[in-house]
Copies of this chain bind each other. A is one copy, B any other.
Amino acid sequence: MSILVVGSIAYDSVETPFGKRDNALGGSTLYFSSAASLFAPVHVVGVIGDDFNPADIDFLKQRRVNFDGMVEAAGKTFRWGGVYHKNMNMRDTLFTDLNVFETFDPVLPDHYKSLDYLFLANIDPDLQLKVLDQMHKPKAVILDTMNFWISGKKESLTRVIQRTDILIINDEELIEYTGTENFLEGLRHITALGPKVVVIKRGMYGAVLYNAGRFFFAPAYPLPEVKDPTGAGDTFAGGFIGYLAEQDNLDEITLRRALVYGSTTASFTVEQFSMDRLKEIGRFEVDNRWNEFKEMMQF
């Protein structure tokens, strides 16, 4: 089955204790696509500026990623700059230049509207709603959000959540949105709004799957070196949703396996800057590491 993703396309300037990269390919849709396309065809909705180099996404086109929904606007491509702290769990945003993203109004090509798996990456919930309104009847709507929208656009965000099947969130965002520090209470609160499934991302501590009262836990892969955590969350979503779309199934065991695929693809992302590592790998490397996960979780 095919996936539709809407989100950002960006050039990132990133500094970590391991180095510095200026104007590297970034943005949630591209990170997502580079992982999800290892499993299923991906269709991108987004906007680029006239400074965007088309050759940068050649590797994605070779992986069944369709860019019919990507439009070019006059002006510069979205740019983000940040510095990661020594422990890599914290970062400071240096700048966020929305540029062409500021006036972005997503319009779906007709052949996008009947796709089955819709991933709403972290963008303005009003844009997410515009995409939702154009879709016919997706099998699964998966939403990723960020604290920025929880504090700034809670009402719109809630309308998106009400139409979401699987919500991807982190602990802090769950607390901020629901107003409770109690994890189970927060999950009850958020699932009452609509999502049956909640995925809680915990960075180096892995991820939690909550599906109708049942829990499943996946660790993060113990890496010798994390070079650049940028895109970890989006490629986690890419592996997770990619596998669900490939299997075209949302039952408990498929969701569990998908969660471990999410951890797997995210673990590759952070091994190098930008999408460098994801460009190199194929399904073989992913499956090998997935099996390593299995070994690390059996008792």
Interface positions of A (Cβ within 8 A of B)? 86-88, 181-185, 202, 204-206, 208, 214-217, 219, 222-225, 253, 256-257, 259-260, 294, 296-299
Which B residue's beta carbon lies closest to that of A87?
B181
A217 touching B223 by the CB < 8 A rule? no
* Chain B proximity of A290: nearest CB distance (Å): 10
A296: contacting residue among B87, B215, B223, B225, CB under 8 A: B215
Q: Please indicate the chain B residues that have their CB under 8 angstroms from the CB of A299 in the complex.
A: 216, 253, 256-257, 259-260, 294, 297
Given contacts A183-B222, A216-B299, 16 further A-B contacts (CB under 8 A): A88-B181, A182-B225, A183-B204, A184-B223, A184-B224, A185-B224, A202-B205, A205-B206, A208-B222, A215-B219, A215-B296, A216-B296, A217-B219, A256-B299, A294-B299, A297-B299
* Chain B proximity of A265: nearest CB distance (Å): 16
A184: contacting residue among B183, B214, B222, CB under 8 A: B222
Q: Please indicate the chain B residues that have their CB under 8 angstroms from the CB of A259 in the complex.
A: 299
* Chain B proximity of A230: nearest CB distance (Å): 18
In the complex, what distance in Å separates the CA atom of A60 from the CA atom of B26? 59
In the complex, what distance in Å separates the CA atom of A204 from the CA atom of B202? 11
A217: contacting residue among B206, B253, B256, CB under 8 A: B206
In the complex, what distance in Å separates the CA atom of A225 from the CA atom of B186? 12
How many copies of the chain does the oligomer comprise?
A: 2
Q: Please indicate the chain B residues that have their CB under 8 angstroms from the CB of A86 in the complex.
A: 181
A296 touching B222 by the CB < 8 A rule? no
Which B residue's beta carbon lies closest to that of A182?
B225
B297 touching A217 by the CB < 8 A rule? yes
In the complex, what distance in Å separates the CA atom of A135 from the CA atom of B147? 55
* CB pairs A–B below 8 angstroms (23 shown): A182-B224, A182-B225, A183-B204, A184-B223, A184-B224, A205-B205, A205-B206, A206-B217, A208-B222, A214-B296, A215-B296, A216-B296, A216-B297, A216-B299, A217-B217, A217-B219, A217-B296, A217-B297, A253-B299, A256-B298, A257-B299, A260-B299, A297-B299
Q: Please indicate the chain B residues that have their CB under 8 angstroms from the CB of A87 in the complex.
A: 181
A215 touching B222 by the CB < 8 A rule? yes
Which B residue's beta carbon lies closest to that of A205?
B205
* Chain B proximity of A232: nearest CB distance (Å): 16
* Chain B proximity of A204: nearest CB distance (Å): 8
* Chain B proximity of A223: nearest CB distance (Å): 7
* Chain B proximity of A24: nearest CB distance (Å): 23
Which 10 residue pairs are nearest across A and B when measured between Cβ atoms?
A: A217-B219, A256-B299, A205-B205, A215-B296, A184-B224, A215-B222, A257-B299, A87-B181, A297-B297, A216-B296
Which B residue's beta carbon lies closest to that of A185?
B224
* Chain B proximity of A16: nearest CB distance (Å): 12
Q: Please indicate the chain B residues that have their CB under 8 angstroms from the CB of A257 in the complex.
A: 299
